[in-house]
Amino acid sequence: GAAGGTGVGAVGGIGTRGPGEKQIEIDRRIVRDRVSALKRELATINERKMRTVQSRRECFTVSLVGYTNSGKSTLLNRLTNAGQFVADMLFATLDTKTVRWAVDESTTVLLSDTVGFVRDLPHHLVASFRATLEEALHADLLLHVVDASNPYAVGQVSAVQQVLDELGCSGIPTVAVLNKIDASTDPVNEQILVTRLPNAVRLSALTGEGIDGLAEAVRRAATADTVRVTLRVPAGDGRLAALIDREAKVLERRYLEDVVELDVRMERRHLDRLTGQHPELEVAAEGDAAAQPS
């Protein structure tokens, strides 16, 4: 017969008619196949997220969350353009953008942007929306960005908080950010927001007003459980020294006869783990003694 094998018994790939299939069955099958493919894609993204999150655990992480159009991306760009970012990493398409932010000379955090929240999201989009939001679950701090100029801002705040609660983020420390104060024309609306979010930072990502206040709030959160210590490492132990380099911010190192002295700032939990695992590591001074000007 004719080339191409279009006989009754031919079975094609996706979208071609199998034996005796009606059009509606074909449509259903195509949709089913598409859904399966998307589910596989989401599973891959979640798997990659777990790996990414693992590798980021050592760094203080901050996630931007907020209703759609609250100005998260503008804020991210404002901080980027302030020249405070030292690297820019792009993960996946359904994924979030993450950048390294040097808040000050001794504090660097990872800052992630998440997708904008919308109310009554179509059911079929919920899974992918949640997958991208998983990022927020692993943050040490959330920045909840609110469009202070929007008359419906109070309702949007509630909608975002509800989703975060459902995702299990309610225990994560949060700084509320009242954005677009340059465009806010309703003092009553803004007063309601301030009452609802008492410790909110007021700023304009567009003009840069109030950005310093945000940096200070993030710095305080990031250094809340950090200690300043002087550590003594045996001179030949390069592996332990490298480990400390990875886990701590080394402020100064002094090479003595048989030890290397390191003035570091690090999280208390990392210090406890290191000293527990490495009895050869000596803590020479902690707190104010270590912070003496050299």
Residue ranges covered by each domain of the chain: 20-57, 61-223, 226-287
Rounded Cα gap, residues 205 and 201, in angstroms: 12
Give, as one character, the DSSP assignment of residue 257.
S
Tally Cβ neighbours within 10 Å of residue 162.
Answer: 12
pTM above 0.75, yes or no: no
More confident: 69 or 216: 216
pLDDT digits (tens, 9 = 90+) for 12-61: 455 555 666 688 888 888 888 888 887 777 777 766 655 555 444 457 88
Domains 61-223 and 226-287 alike in fold: no
Rounded Cα gap, residues 179 and 207, in angstroms: 10
- Statement: 61-223 belongs to CATH 3.40.47.10: no
H/E run at residue 14: none
> Residue 262: phi, psi to the nearest 5?
-120, 120
Architecture of domain 226-287: 2-Layer Sandwich (3.30)
CA distances from 266 to 64, 109, 151 (A): 24, 13, 43
What does the pLDDT read at residue 293?
Answer: 39
CA distances from 127 to 28, 124, 130 (A): 20, 7, 5
CA distances from 275 to 88, 146, 236, 244, 261 (A): 33, 42, 18, 11, 15
pLDDT digits (tens, 9 = 90+) for 194-207: 999 988 999 999 99
DSSP string, 49-91: HHHHHHHHTTS-EEEEEEBTTSSHHHHHHHHIIIIIEEEEEE-
